[in-house]
Amino acid sequence: MREIDTTRVLCSLAELEVTGGRGFAVGEGDWPLRGFVVKTASGVAAYVNLCPHAGHPLNFRPHRFLTSDGNLILCHSHGALFARDSGLCIAGPCAGQSLTAVAIEVVAGYVLLGADVDVERLANDPL
Contact 95, 83 (CB under 8 A): no
Select from 71, 51, 57 the least CA-distant residue to 23.
57
Task: Provide the minimum distance between the beta carbon of 78 and ligand FES in the complex, in angstroms, as a whole number.
Answer: 3
Determine the Cα–Cα distance for residues 120 and 100; give it in Å rounded to an integer.
Answer: 14
Determine the Cα–Cα distance for residues 115 and 98; give it in Å rounded to an integer.
Answer: 23
Determine the Cα–Cα distance for residues 120 and 99; give it in Å rounded to an integer.
Answer: 18
Task: Provide the minimum distance between the beta carbon of 40 and ligand FES in the complex, in angstroms, as a whole number.
Answer: 20
Task: Provide the minimum distance between the beta carbon of 60 and ligand FES in the complex, in angstroms, as a whole number.
Answer: 11
Contact 58, 76 (CB under 8 A): yes
Residue 77 binds ligand FES (CB under 6 A) = yes
Subset of residues 13 to 72 that bind ligand FES, contact rule: CB under 6 A: 51, 53-54, 56
Task: Provide the minimum distance between the beta carbon of 108 and ligand FES in the complex, in angstroms, as a whole number.
Answer: 34
- The interface region with ligand FES, picked from 22-30, 39-47, 74-82, 102-110 by CB under 6 A, is 74-82
Residue 106 binds ligand FES (CB under 6 A) = no
User: In a 3-state reduction of DSSP, which class is residue 15?
Assistant: helix
Query: Site size for ligand FES, by CB under 6 A?
Result: 11
Residues that bind ligand FES (CB under 6 A): 51, 53-54, 56, 75, 77-80, 92-93
